[in-house]
Amino acid sequence: MSTATMEKSAAPAAPESFTVTVIIRRFDPEVDDEPRWQDFDVEMFATDRVLDALHKIKWEQDGSLSFRRSCAHGICGSDAMRINGRNRLACKTLIKDLDITKPVYVEAIKGLPLEKDLIVDMEPFFESYREVQPFLVAASAPKEGKERIQNVAQRERFDDTTKCILCAACTSSCPVFWTDGQYFGPAAIVNAHRFIFDSRDDNAAVRLDILNDKEGVWRCRTTFNCSEACPRGIQVTQAIAEVKQAIMRGKP
Amino acid sequence: MPQKTAGTLSYQQRTTSRRPAGTLYRGREGMWSWVLHRITGVAIFFFLLVHILDTALVRVSPEAYNAVISTYQTPLMGLGEVALVAAIVFHAFNGLRIILIDFWTPKYHRAMFYVVIALWVITMLAFAPRHLINVFSH
């Protein structure tokens, strides 16, 4: 047994590291009139993520690089950014999945006001989110005063849209949202869908009325950018289509 | 020794920003079908505008109408007609695709895009040679 351990500890090949060129769209509102591209070379392993590259740059090369991140494990939804032209979470994008023979382009998400480097003002995004009443509204007291019972099929109905982490990858990938900031955007509709199709909720009619607006679901042009960008794999366009159909039916 | 002031720093950074624009969003089939749908839609709108104007000319005077229509018989306009039919055929098939996405299911949107392209190619193969023979044999 000890020999086996010996062999194992003697054998491990050092993981190969690569030099990755990361080109970041920088913007410092106190200095720059317009954003500029800046490139950095970082030593990375195939198992590293884009977020690790950003950390290395910030900690070892340029401390002024600004970006948001919190959990770094794909749940908090802070670090949505445009990586090689597509909206991704930096903490879920592995170096091995990118073509590192070419530089990796990193820039802030589109359609929201740029504040600094990779940070955008998320307020318009959360404003639309709040407008769809993303909370349970029940008209009746729960049976026996305890809980609102739901069967498996009823829970399954809106399961996909419960996964949203509000990272704004979908909303800022939408060509309609880029040109028309008034559009609710995919994320707000996904979170409306989550309650519209919840059997315990009694406010579906109000939410459908809010979304049956000029800037509501009808702005969706089915480009499927949102479904492709969602780091949680939510079928966003499908959810929007279901809300459209619910509005046409007049009920969920 | 000249000191670097905040002013020169900002000037230098302004001059190094050769590519301030962001990258093009790399959407997939859905986004490009939408882009093509929008472009062909706007192109068809302008064609219809001109078409209504030239048809309305017959009310002004039949001679003026004939003069305008005769300019359409040139090979250049013949090529333009190929582009017009290409735009209309794409817009029509993709319009059916969007109707299916909205009223049936969005699941097969990517496959449906390739079906649209295939139908477009077949229609254009049937139309373009026949039309160009007419245009260039007169």
pLDDT in tens, A103-147: 999 999 999 999 999 999 999 999 999 999 999 999 888 888 788
Strands A114-116 and A17-26: unpaired
Q: State the 10-residue block means of pLDDT for chain A, 252 residues long.
A: 52 84 94 92 94 97 96 95 96 93 94 94 96 93 84 96 97 94 95 96 95 94 96 96 94 84
pTM: 0.86
Provide the chain B residues 61-90 that lie in CB contact (below 8 A) with chain A.
none
Tell me, yes or no, if B13 comes closer than 8 A to chain A by beta carbon. Answer: yes
Q: With contact defined as beta carbons under 8 Å apart, do A24 and A66 qualify?
A: no
Q: With contact defined as beta carbons under 8 Å apart, do A65 and A58 qualify?
A: yes
| B109 closest CB neighbour out of A31, A82, A224 | A224
Residue B2 has a pLDDT of 43
- DSSP 8-state code for residue B25: P
Residue B40 has a pLDDT of 97
CATH number of A17-120: 3.10.20.30
| A224 closest CB neighbour out of B16, B28, B102 | B28
Number of other CB atoms surrounding residue B128 within 10 Å: 15
CATH number of A123-249: 1.10.1060.10
Phi, psi of B4 (to 5 degrees): -75, 115
- Give the residue extent of every domain in chain A: 17-120, 123-249
Residue B73 has a pLDDT of 86
Say how far apart CA A168 and CA A150 lie, in whole Å.
30
In this predicted structure, the answer to whether residue B24 has a pLDDT above a threshold of 50 is yes
| A238 closest CB neighbour out of B17, B28, B106 | B106
Q: Do B24 and A85 touch (CB under 8 A)?
A: yes
B17, B24, B113: best to mutate for the A interface, most A CBs within 10 A? B17
Tell me, yes or no, if A99 comes closer than 8 A to chain B by beta carbon. Answer: no
**For chain B, which domains are there?**
28-136 (1.20.1300.10)
pLDDT tens-place string over residues B59-87: 989 999 999 888 888 889 999 999 999 99
Q: Do B17 and A35 touch (CB under 8 A)?
A: yes
Number of other CB atoms surrounding residue B119 within 10 Å: 17
Q: Is A86 left (phi over 0), alpha (psi -120 to 50) or beta?
A: beta
Same fold: A17-120 with A123-249: no
> What ipTM, to 2 d.p.?
0.84
